[in-house]
Chain A
Amino acid sequence: MNAVAAGHRRLPVGHEAGDRRPDWPWRRTSLALVASAAVVLPFTLPPYRLFQLTLVLVYTVALLGLDLVVGRSGRLSLGHGAFFGVGAYTSAVLIAQFGVPYPLTMPAAALATFGLGWAAGRPALRLRGLYLAMVTFAVAVVLPPLLKRLAGLTGGAMGLTVPAPEGLLGLDDDQWVYFLVLMVTAAAFAGMRGLAGSRPGRALTALREHPAAAETLGIRAATHMTAAFAWSAMYAGVAGALYTWTAGFVSPDSFTLALSITLLAGVVIGGLGTLAGPVLGAFAVLAVPAVAQEFDPAAPGIVSGLLLLLIVYVAPAGLAGLLRRTLWGLLRRRA
């Protein structure tokens, strides 16, 4: 536990670990507000805004997964865009080519990406340093051409159109998809929250902060890291399946290395190793280009780049860290 305690200044693991910073006092009220907003929004937002909000949730799930590798384990993955793509294509091919009912395609996507994550992570994680980044980089580079080659199954460069899930309970299609995605996102959050305080979660933190000390304490680095990586890839794959339901169309060019980099930027902008980080990061990587595009079609790249620089310099703990600091300041002023 020493390693964990030593690391708390950088990344908190809760009150038990010696974190003495004040807690946000209105936890339940805030949670209730967020929950009610999440339920009310689909009935008030115009359809396109709701689509964008759904995409934010989809990216949130992927970022939660990526954060497990980058934030909590301190490794670099350049392949999460590819895992996202594999999940998206697993779902799309099953629905469009084999007529599988869409709810069944999510477990399939989860299983496929869990296996792929395990296979890619197992050898790479035994090696130290940048090897994981290299192996995942290779996965990200190989996927789009591979998808184009398997044209009979994937539709090649033309992509695949997937019929949208039909709205149930009197909801419109887009509202129904939103609630499906919302439920999965909530479950993803619950899973990640449970992990943070659990034995494997603490083991990961220990391995990140001081691998030698952690191994002395009897923590098997390879086992924990491989499991973490496989779960992380699975989160990305599930997000991919949700993406297919939301967007209704997949093509190889959507899942290039650029997506992996975008996800990585999202984790950093949101804040590493936090629960709020992925939501804020997903919001930032989707909203910033969309808003910038309103002003100038060429602006998104420049604005996103500047934002990333600004975050790294001004708020190295990301938007989540910034938020925490602001709230903390507010609390102190009250006291």
Chain B
Amino acid sequence: MKRLIMALVLLLSGCRPGEEVLAGACAGQIGTGVTATSVKVGGIYPLSGPASAYAAVAQGVRAYFAHVNDSGGVAGRRIEFLVRDDAYQPARAVEEARRLVLHDRVFALFQTLGTPSTAAVREYAHAHRVPQVFVATGATRWGTDATRPWTIGFQPSYVAEARVYAHFLAQTRPEARVAVLYQNDDFGHDLLDGFRRAIDGTSVRIVATRSYEVTDPSVQGQVANLAASGADVLLDVSTPKFAAQALAVDAAMPGWNPLHILNGVAAAPSMLKAVGHARVQGVVTAGFQKDPGAPESADDPAVGTYLAAVRRYVPEADPAGQQVVYGWTAAQAFVKVLEGMRCPSREALRAAMRDLRKVELDMLLPGITVSTGPGDAFPIESLQMARFEGSRWVPVGGVVDTRAEFGPVRADPDQGG
């Protein structure tokens, strides 16, 4: 009985911690999770479950932060990076975000992966005024929705990607007749709607569209259906599993040989290898990152630094993987944002992530930079087309700046943000 009372007294003596409010020049701002020698950030990735292939993004991030910490940190602060698993389930992502913010008391959330998880965490981040920086999804709404200023995307939006395909077709096949295979969810609609608007005013036409559900076993029927339309271009807006099926079906139909445009989400070399290199020759996609294995990267010092750091800090990772490069690149951009903060506070981080002027990053293709500012919440908006030749993607044409070509991306009136 005495022990019970003792335990109760002990519990009572604890006190409820609040946010750390700064004084001085940055008075009133929130500095939770950041000290003179450290800054704590948390990321949420699908380490398990159906999308666990994307966990490689976290490896790239870890490699870059370790690399920075070993060279003295950011303005003397070591980056402490906590990785949490949401198994690609939005409810778990919210729970992990809650744990990171309230329990681990992180300064900011650096990356959540996937549109559903990011959308769910975004509301939480907004309510608690925690920055959610460079989320790993291409949905357009991270950039168009001004009511959620604590969240910002990173990679080119699906609309930007669609614009590059439209631009490419208008240049190379102005009379193209396009068949579209798309995943019936936000991702598919985002890209397809972007493409529709981008070809407006050109002579490129969509002649057939077929959708599939992520729960469908196969897209064979849809592709056969599209073949009947006689289109000379197939825009393939699918995730890796279905893209592999679509590529195989396309290759197996001798009577239909359209130009196969594979969206960036599905353009992983490992998937193409599984389909068979002989069957995917001439497929095109759009990209924005360097390929560490490409011959033109061989004597690029930035690629050398990247390869050395990945081998040293995350030996289990595949340095040639695009996901690892992506994590590395986003982490480097985040460090640039940390360097740009005027105060060690969440408010200053938010301001800094929305004020990037043509920042150059090691692993972006030459000519692509990161820019944000008032009215521009899309960090990367340029892409370059690439064609699959032999066993790798070979760049085609120059870098296309979609903001310069098409103007800023506006919110889709149907989606209401």
Contact = CB atoms under 8 A, between A and B. Distances in A.
B116 A157 contact: yes
B265 to A, nearest CB: 16
B17 to A, nearest CB: 6
Most buried by B among A33, A41, A159: A159
A248 interface: yes
B185 A157 contact: yes
B124 A248 contact: yes
A43 B11 CA distance: 10
A48 interface: yes
Interface string B123-136: 11001000000000
Interface string A248-279: 11110110000000000000000000000000
Identify the interface centre among A46, A145, A247: most chain B CB within 10 Å of its CB: A46
Contacts of B99: 48
A297 B124 CA distance: 23
Contact of A250 (B11, B91, B92): B91
Contacts of A43: 16
Given A47-B102, A297-B47, A159 B8 contact: no
Give the bracket for the number of chain B residues in contact with chain A.
20 to 34
B16 A253 contact: no
A251 B120 contact: yes
A158 B186 CA distance: 9
Contacts, number: 81
A254 B120 CA distance: 13
Given A46-B102, A48-B102, A161 B120 contact: yes
Contacts of B48: 297-298
A309 B15 CA distance: 38
B215 A253 contact: no
B258 interface: no
Nearest to B116: A158
A19 B413 CA distance: 70
A158 B214 CA distance: 13
A44 B11 contact: yes
A51 B215 CA distance: 34
A249 B89 CA distance: 12
B138 to A, nearest CB: 15
B85 interface: yes
Contacts of A51: 98, 102
Interface string A22-58: 0000100000010011001101111111010000000
A36 to B, nearest CB: 8
B4 A251 contact: no
B91 A45 contact: no
Interface string B77-113: 0000000010001111011001100110000000000
B103 A48 contact: yes
Contact of B215 (A145, A161, A164): A145
B116 to A, nearest CB: 5
28 contacts: A26-B1, A33-B4, A37-B11, A40-B12, A44-B16, A45-B11, A45-B14, A45-B16, A46-B17, A47-B16, A47-B102, A48-B102, A48-B103, A51-B98, A156-B185, A157-B116, A158-B115, A158-B116, A247-B95, A248-B123, A249-B90, A249-B123, A250-B91, A251-B90, A251-B91, A251-B116, A253-B90, A254-B89
Leading 8 A-B pairs by shortest Cβ distance: A48-B103, A48-B102, A161-B123, A254-B91, A253-B89, A249-B94, A47-B102, A251-B90
